[in-house]
């Protein structure tokens, strides 16, 4: 009799049919994903596992277990500086420029240490943050050690997932094989590898706000803001109300930010010309739409960080930081 593979139990739990299958517990997910990341599963098992979880939609407990296993697999420098704000960027932009990058750099220039992580190229026709930052002249780290050096030098670092967690990056790459996204697209946003006190996160589909909020609470994240962002990135659309799901000192909540640019007609960019971001930052060109996005997104981060207590104060402070930015530097140096 052929002995059952140790991983088969997790596929069976998920796939026994509409009446007998169930979601995994947090601990079961942790054990299963730990096996995956140690290379102890067969490719067919991995594909089945990923698709079964995705089809039923991940529970907060599954996301938390997945994220714990992923975090435990990371090998990071022990001398990393304290990170104030973890900013995942995994969606890429297809219809509008990634103005949120200027928000992150503005915060870094004003004393907030920001670690951004993401992935590149998993969806055709999208502009991803790594390529955009390189085009702006902002260094992109290749390794965690380089990311730490960038954090020390300029309070901002961007590290692609491939340089931080190659196995997770490979699993995201299975989209072209499986034909659909898998849970790693969600879990990668939750890595917070340097243990930042605050996380800001954008999602493409509103139900994931609740999933991220609850799973982050299970992971003990003290402060978080997650909202439906433009293109799935953490970028607020100032012409629309924005409902932000929050964690504040461990307490779950929600708040609605009113439009700051009501009545504005927002166009979709026919071409994503990254030079427009640099021109806006340096003052070489006026771009009211882009400016409003930068200020509105920065305001959400400022309130999350505790640098403003109300929406109005956060928006006023964001506008002030924008007016007084160092236009000669796009590298986010403090």
Give the pLDDT of residue 334: 41
Give the pLDDT of residue 175: 85
User: Residue 255: how many CB atoms within 10 A of its CB?
Assistant: 15
**pLDDT band at 130; cut points 50, 70, 90:** very high
Give the pLDDT of residue 333: 45
Give the pLDDT of residue 1: 54
Please give the DSSP secondary-structure letter assigned to residue 240.
S
Each residue's pLDDT tens digit, 280-296: 999 999 899 999 999 99
Share of the chain above pLDDT 70, in %: 95
Please give the DSSP secondary-structure letter assigned to residue 111.
T
Tokens found for residue 308: 């403003």
Each residue's pLDDT tens digit, 291-329: 999 999 999 999 999 999 999 999 999 999 999 999 987
- pTM, full prediction: 0.94
**Does 263 score more than 80 pLDDT?**
no
**pLDDT band at 122; cut points 50, 70, 90:** low
CATH topology of domain 85-323: Pyrimidine Nucleoside Phosphorylase; Chain A, domain 2 (3.40.1030)
Give the pLDDT of residue 262: 63
Residue ranges matching CATH 3.40.1030.10 in the chain: 85-323
Give the pLDDT of residue 271: 79
Residue ranges matching CATH 1.20.970.10 in the chain: 8-73
Superfamily of domain 8-73: Transferase, Pyrimidine Nucleoside Phosphorylase; Chain C (1.20.970.10)
Q: What is the mean pLDDT of residues 262-286?
A: 82
φ/ψ (deg, to 5) at 149 = -60, -40
DSSP state letters, 26-91? HHHHHHHHHHHHTT-S-HHHHHHHHHHHHHH---HHHHHHHHHHHHHH----TTPPPPSEEEEE-S
Give the pLDDT of residue 76: 96
Supply the mean pLDDT for the chain: 93
Between 116 and 95, residue with greater pLDDT:
116
Residues in CB range of 248: below 8 A, 6 or more apart: 223
Each residue's pLDDT tens digit, 163-178: 999 999 999 989 888 8
């Amino acid at each position: 009799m052929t002995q059952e593979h140790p991983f088969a139990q997790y596929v069976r739990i998920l796939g026994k049919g509409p009446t007998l299958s169930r979601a995994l517990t947090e601990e079961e997910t942790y054990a299963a994903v730990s096996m995956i990341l140690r290379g102890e599963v067969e490719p067919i098992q991995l594909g089945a596992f990923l698709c079964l979880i995705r089809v039923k939609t991940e529970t907060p407990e599954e996301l938390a277990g997945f994220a714990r296993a992923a975090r435990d697999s990371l090998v990071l420098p022990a001398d990393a500086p304290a990170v104030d704000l973890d900013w995942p960027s995994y969606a890429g932009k297809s219809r509008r420029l990634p103005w949120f990058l200027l928000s992150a750099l503005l915060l870094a220039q004003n004393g907030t240490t920001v670690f951004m992580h993401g992935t590149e190229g998993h969806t055709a026709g999208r502009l991803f943050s790594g390529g955009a930052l390189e085009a702006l002249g902002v260094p992109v780290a290749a390794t965690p050690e380089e990311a730490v050096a960038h954090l020390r030098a300029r309070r901002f670092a961007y590290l692609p997932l491939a340089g931080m967690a190659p196995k997770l990056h490979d699993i995201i790459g299975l989209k072209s094989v499986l034909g659909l996204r898998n849970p790693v697209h969600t879990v990668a946003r939750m890595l917070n590898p340097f243990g930042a006190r605050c996380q800001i996160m954008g999602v493409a589909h509103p139900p994931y706000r609740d999933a991220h909020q609850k799973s982050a609470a299970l992971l003990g994240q003290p402060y978080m803001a997650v909202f439906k962002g433009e293109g799935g990135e953490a970028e607020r659309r100032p012409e629309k109300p924005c409902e932000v799901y929050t964690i504040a000192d461990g307490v779950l909540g929600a708040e609605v930010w009113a439009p700051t640019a009501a009545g504005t007609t927002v166009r979709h960019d026919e071409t994503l010309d990254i030079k427009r971001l640099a021109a806006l930052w340096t003052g070489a060109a006026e771009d009211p739409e882009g400016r409003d996005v930068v200020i509105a997104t920065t305001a959400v981060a400022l309130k999350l960080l505790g640098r403003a207590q109300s929406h109005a104060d956060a928006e006023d402070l964001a506008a002030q930081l924008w007016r007084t930015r160092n236009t000669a530097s796009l590298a986010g140096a403090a």
